[in-house]
Amino acid sequence: MTILQVENLSKDFGGLRVLENITFSLAAGSVVGLIGPNGAGKSTLVNLIAGADRPTGGEILFASRRLAGLPAWRVARLGLARTFQITRVFTDLSLGDNIRLAAWTRGLRGKGLEAEVRRLADLTELSDKIAKPSRDLTLADQKRLQLARALALKPKLLLLDEVMAGLNPSELDRAIQLLAKLRNEGITMLVIEHLMRVIMNISDRVLVLHQGSLIADGPPAEVVASSQVQEAYLGRRYVQNR
């Protein structure tokens, strides 16, 4: 079953075409990696799908509903959550309150709300920091908190924009395990990431954006073997060192 269908999507900023006729679909329950050089248009694509920005042309269908043009809050209510490339949490609030606020938005109150806050803190391994002011959290913890907040919306589809950037190797291992856990819960994910170790580890399929166009879409091993992808993004070293 297809949960997300993107058809001929394009986006111009002023006179600059940033996305050109992007077409792909995501199967429900799948984890799809989205890679490409800086400036390729990855975050722009996520912004369009999440309703943060309007496409210049094309269609986005989520569970067969047309999304293009819907505001972000309506898109979120339909079950589509995202994280931001630049970590966004409410630094004046405690970690627990950050999660509580997101779950409250979904309509939870009272005991149900508290149980959900505990479940999400537990899932993202943040339980011991629940009372901590968010500004005192490490980058790795802030990234997990961002994920917990996105999960509080009970998404069917999660768009992750470089949630692992800046993590050290052991934090990275934990983050990969966490995504594996989410996949086991059946959450469909579109994962933007520059770290190929992460992409190869978690993706069923990989999409490659280059200068606003989709240049590859297929199984990870096939995509990294493509000479076009190697030239545009990975470089020869990646293949030699694999």
Ligand X SMILES: Nc1ncnc2c1ncn2[C@@H]1O[C@H](COP(=O)(O)OP(=O)(O)OP(=O)(O)O)[C@@H](O)[C@H]1O
Q: Which residues bind ligand X (CB under 6 A)?
A: 13, 18, 36, 38-44, 85
Contact partner, 35, from ligand X, Mg ion, none, Cβ < 5-8 Å per class: none
Q: In the bound complex, what is the minimum distance in angstroms from residue 68's beta carbon to ligand X?
A: 17
Give whichever of 40 and 199 is closer to ligand X, judged by the CB atom. 40
Q: In the bound complex, what is the minimum distance in angstroms from residue 42's beta carbon to Mg ion?
A: 5
Report CA torsion sign: 191, 197, 203, 205.
positive
CB of 186 closer than 8 Å to CB of 29: yes
Contact partner, 18, from Mg ion, ligand X, none, Cβ < 5-8 Å per class: ligand X
Give whichever of 102 and 164 is closer to ligand X, judged by the CB atom. 164
User: Which value, in Å, is the radius of gyration of the alpha carbons in the chain?
Assistant: 18
Q: Does 188 bind Mg ion (CB under 5 A)?
A: no
Contact partner, 40, from ligand X, Mg ion, none, Cβ < 5-8 Å per class: ligand X
Contact partner, 38, from Mg ion, ligand X, none, Cβ < 5-8 Å per class: ligand X
Judged by CB under 5 A, the stretch of 12-20, 35-43, 50-58, 114-122 that binds Mg ion is 35-43
Q: In the bound complex, what is the minimum distance in angstroms from residue 38's beta carbon to Mg ion?
A: 7
The torsion region of residue 72 among left (phi > 0), alpha (psi -120 to 50) and beta comes to alpha
Place of tokens 């999507």: 9
Contacts of 134 (CB under 8 A, 6+ apart): 89, 90, 91, 92, 93, 94, 95, 98, 142, 145
Contact partner, 71, from Mg ion, ligand X, none, Cβ < 5-8 Å per class: none
Q: Does 43 bind Mg ion (CB under 5 A)?
A: yes
Burial 33-56 (b: 16+ CB within 10 A, else e): bbbbeeebbbbbbbbbbbbebebe
Give whichever of 40 and 60 is closer to ligand X, judged by the CB atom. 40
Dist. CA 101–CA 91, nearest whole Å: 13
Contact partner, 238, from Mg ion, ligand X, none, Cβ < 5-8 Å per class: none
**What's at 187, amino acid-wise?**
I
Distances (CA, A) of 136 to 118, 125, 235: 20, 16, 38
| Interface with Mg ion (CB under 5 A) | 42-43, 85
